[in-house]
Chains A and B, each alone.
Chain A
C-alpha cells in the first residue's frame, strides 16, 4: 500500500501500556511515525523501535513548548503532520478519511479539527459533556503551532481550518487504579488553588459580584461562590448525567459521571482538610 503523505508525532512519557495501540493504528499507512519522548523509564523506547517508529528524546518543557519543538525539529518529509497522544488511536474510518484528504492536491485547508470519544471501562462515552470534543490535530507542516501556555494549550493556525467527519478514540489502558491516582493528584492541586483564594486577603483575587467587569464577575463565581457551594460534586453529577444526557450512555454513563463527581468530591474534602488545619493554626 502506498503510504499517505502524513507523519505522526506521538509525545510520550512512560507509555508502555498505551503506545502499542497508538502505533498499531497508524503504522501501516502513515509515512513516518515519530515518538517524541521526554525521558521514559519504562519500555516505551523498546516498543517504539520494535514497531518501526522513530524514537526521539527531547527534554520536557511543558505541553505546548515540547510539541512545538517537535513540529520544528523532527525530520518530517511529508506535507502533513498528525499529533496523536499515546492513549489515543485512529479508527479505520478516520484513517480512510485522512488518506483521502491528504492525498487530494486541490485541498487548501491548513488544519483539521478531529472529534474524539472517550472509552471508559471498555465502553464508549457519547454524552456526559465529554463528547463532542474537538481538537486540531491534523495540520499542514509549518502552518500551525501551539500557543505557549502552561495548560489547556490551543493551536494557532495560519490558514483555513475544517472539521473531519470521523472520530478518534481516547482510551487509557493503564486502568482504573491509574485514573484514580491521577484524580487524587489533580484534586489535591485543585484544592490548594481554592484554598489560596479562600484564605487570600487580596480583594483582586476574589473578583466582584456587583459593579465590576464581566471578568471580575466570573472570577467571583469561580473563587467565592463555587468553592462555598455545598455538595458541589452532586451538581457536577446532575449536570453531566442529566443536563449533558449522560443517562443516554447507560450503565457506563452513570459510573463515568459518578467518577468525575468523585473527583469533585475529593477536591471538596481536601479543601475542608486544609481549612481545618488553617483554623487550628490561627487559634494557636
Chain B
C-alpha cells in the first residue's frame, strides 16, 4: 500500500484504499479519526454530509433534540447519537470535546450542511496515521455555495476554520460563530470544505441568522463594555484571526454598518464577480448586520432598564 502523502508538503498520490472505496474491493480500512457532528433538524442535509463521511467508523452526533428524522437517519448510518439541550455554540462544543469519549485521538468536526471532499479525507488520513505530530489542530478553507455557485469573492474566501484537532487541546470562545483557542501549534491544510448554508432555503437561513444576531449582539455588548478594542489589530497582517476580531469590534462603533458591510463585500472584495448569487448574498449579510444592530439597541435599553 502506498504511504499516505503528507498534505502539509503538497499533493501526492492518493492512497490506494481511498481510491478503491467503491466497487467489489473488500471494505476499505477506516481512517483513524473520529467525527463530531452537530445537528438540529438536519434531515435535509444529512444524506449528503454522511455520504462524505463514510471513511469514518466513529461518527458521534451531538443532537439538540431534533424533531425531524435526524436521529433516525444518523442511527441508520451507524453513528453514535448523544443528545444535549443547546445553550450557545462555544458551551455546546466545549461540552462535546470534554465529555464525549472518542474512539480515536483525533477528531474531525463537521456541521451537517458541510461536505468533506476526497482531498481533505486523504489529508486527514495522512495526518492521523503519522505517529508524532507537533501540531494539535488543523485549519481548512470554507467554500460557500449559494444557488449552485461558489461565492468565491463575496464570502471572502479563504476564511480559515479549525476542523481537525485533538479534543483535549481545543476550546471555543463566543456565544456564536465560535473562535477556537488551541493549546499547541496549529497548521493550515491547503484543503477546502464545502458549505451549503442555504440548502434549506432562505426562510430557514433567515431563521438561523435571527438567532445568530441575537447572540452576536450580546457579544458586541460584551466587547464594547470590556473596552478591549484592539485598534492595532486592524493592521495585523500576520494574524488574520486577530485582524478579523479587531475589525469586527471596531465596526460596531460605526454608523450605517450594514451599508458599509455591503460596500466592503460587494465592491472592495469584488462580490460583484459572483453574479446574481453574489449580489443576493451581500444583501442578505447586510440585512443580517442590521438585525444585529437592532438587537444591540434593544439590549442597551434592557441594560439601562429603559421601558421597552
**Chain A positions near chain B (C-beta within 8 angstroms):** 119, 121-122, 171, 173, 175-177, 180-181, 184, 188, 255, 258-259, 262, 265-266, 269-270, 272-273, 276
The 8 Å CB contact of B213, one of A121, A171, A177, A276, is A177
| Min CB gap A262→B, angstroms | 5
Whether the Cβ atoms of A184 and B207 lie closer than 8 Å is yes
Most B CB within 10 A of own CB, among A119, A173, A180, A259? A180
Query: Which of under 10, 10 to 19, 20 to 34, or 35 or more describes the interface residues of B?
Result: 20 to 34
**22 A-B contacts, Cβ less than 8 Å apart?**
A119-B308, A121-B297, A171-B308, A175-B308, A176-B294, A177-B213, A177-B295, A180-B210, A180-B291, A184-B203, A184-B207, A184-B210, A188-B203, A255-B294, A255-B297, A265-B283, A265-B287, A266-B202, A269-B202, A269-B284, A273-B147, A273-B201
- Of chain A, the residue at the smallest CB distance from B147 is A276
The 8 Å CB contact of B308, one of A173, A180, A255, A272, is A173
Q: With A188-B203, A265-B287 given, is the CB distance from A180 to B213 under 8 Å? A: yes
Whether the Cβ atoms of B202 and A262 lie closer than 8 Å is no
- Of chain B, the residue at the smallest CB distance from A273 is B202
Inter-chain contact total with CB atoms closer than 8 Å: 63
| Min CB gap B79→A, angstroms | 31
Whether the Cβ atoms of A122 and B307 lie closer than 8 Å is yes
Interface of chain A: mostly helix, strand, loop or mixed = helix
| B187-226 to A contact mask, C-beta < 8 Å, 1/0 | 0000000000000011100110011011000000000000
Whether the Cβ atoms of A270 and B203 lie closer than 8 Å is yes
Contacts of B214 in A (CB 8 A): 177
- A255 and B307 CA atoms in complex are apart in Å by 18
| Min CB gap A279→B, angstroms | 11
Given A176-B291, A265-B283, 18 extra CB contacts under 8 A? A119-B308, A121-B294, A121-B298, A121-B308, A122-B301, A175-B298, A175-B308, A176-B294, A176-B297, A177-B210, A177-B295, A181-B210, A184-B203, A259-B294, A269-B284, A272-B280, A273-B147, A273-B202
